[in-house]
Amino acid sequence: MLKYILKRIGLAILILIGVSLIIYFLIRLMPVDFIQNKVNAMNQSNTVPADAVEKLYEMYGLDNSGFKGIVKGYFNWLGALAKLDLGKSFVDYAPVAEVIAKNMGISFAVALIATIFEFMIAIPLGITAATHQYSFRDYLVTVLAMIGISLPSFFFGQMLKNVFALQLGWFPSQGTLSGAGSATGLALIPDYLAHMFLPILTVVILSIGPRMRMTRTNMLEVMNSDYIRTARAKGLTETKVIYKHAFRNTLIPLVTTLAGLLPSLFSGAIITEQVFGLDGIGNIALNRMMQGDIPFIMGYNMFLAMLSVLGVLLSDLMYVIVDPRVKLD
């Protein structure tokens, strides 16, 4: 096991270097120019001289946009990364790690709560749809899942917002706090929950469909296996057949999805955060992308790449727990 983990860590380092190389070159080739945007904001009456603009490019390390300059900039960034330094954000004038940590809380809370409810709802629905195949229950669950898959997040989020926030007034429509009152500490929790309800509901409903369909498909495949018929022939109750024998083997494909679960907890729901005006990391990342904040974009994407590689490793290790027949050598 230890040998396998060390081998995967070495492979992960090579993958991350390759990912960082691709991301850096793509970002440096973006049409968005942070310095030019900054100059345009100051240059209302053509008062910024050309030598000042050149000094700005030099100060931010963007003075050479040729191939050699990009390569030099990449190795400078890679050397800083080796020292666990993600650089300093152009926009925030603060270390990228601090900016990510500061804006991660809201996105992580929304994603974690939504993921918990997603599993609690999608897996039982998938099981009941599979065990009652071609029944009204199966068709109803499948139709609801297809509706959730088909609806765009910006449309569904805006629809919930219009109905429950703007028309009925049951929930706030924007932000994470009302901004009024003198409540502090635990007294702010109801206000946070009121603001987070609609974004979480949006993410949950739109995420249930794919996981429910996967659970249903895997359960149907397992339920037709010989050992399931043998378990029934031995006189086991249907509950034991489904949850002790069938569902345990259904977990094996579901474990594969854990690889993408870890980065999804920290990546933020960009569109949902835009619709509900949340100051989450997804919304911040989109704004920094549009502003050409190269250090933040690099740091944020590499952070997600590291989580993705870690998620794949944890997924492989979980196979051993779910299926004892799997051996990692």
Q: Say how far apart CA 78 and CA 70 lie, in whole Å.
A: 12
Q: Per residue of the chain (329 residues), what is the pLDDT tens digit? A: 677 777 778 888 888 888 888 888 887 777 766 666 666 666 554 565 566 556 656 655 666 666 777 787 788 778 878 887 777 787 778 888 888 888 888 888 888 888 888 888 888 888 888 888 888 888 888 888 888 788 888 888 888 888 888 888 888 877 777 765 555 656 677 777 887 888 888 888 888 888 888 888 888 887 777 777 787 788 777 778 787 777 777 777 777 777 677 777 777 677 888 888 888 888 888 888 887 777 888 888 888 888 888 887 777 777 766 666 656 65
Give me the residue spans of the domains in the chain: 98-285
Residue 141 near residue 125 (C-beta atoms within 8 A): yes
The CATH number given to 98-285 is: 1.10.3720.10
Its pTM stands at 0.76
Burial of 208 (0-12, 13-18, 19+ CB in 10 A): buried
Residue 214 · residue 253 · CB < 8 Å: yes
Report the distance separating Cα 2 and Cα 328, nearest Å: 9
**Cβ distance 224 to 182 under 8 Å?**
no
What residue spans of 151-268 are helical by DSSP H?
153-160, 189-223, 226-233, 238-240, 247-256, 258-267
